[in-house]
Structure 1
Amino acid sequence: TKGCLIANFATVPMEAIAADTGCSIVFLHHASKGAAMMGAGDQQQASRGSSVLVDNIRWQSYLSSMTSAEAEEWGVDDDQRRFFVRFGVSKANYGAPFADRWFRRHDGGVLKPAVLERQRKSKGVPRGEA
Structure 2
Amino acid sequence: VWENVVLPLDLTGKLNGHGNERAAEMLQAVGLLNRRGAFPDRLSGGEQQRVAIARALVHDPLVVLADEPTGNLDEETGKSILALVDRLTRGAGKNLILVTHSAEAAGYADRVVTLRDGKFDEQHAPWQGD
TM over 0.5: no
Q: Which has the larger radius of gyration?
A: 1
Which structure would you say has the larger RCO, counting Cα contacts within 8 Å and 6 or more residues apart? 2
TM-score normalised by length of structure 1 = 0.33
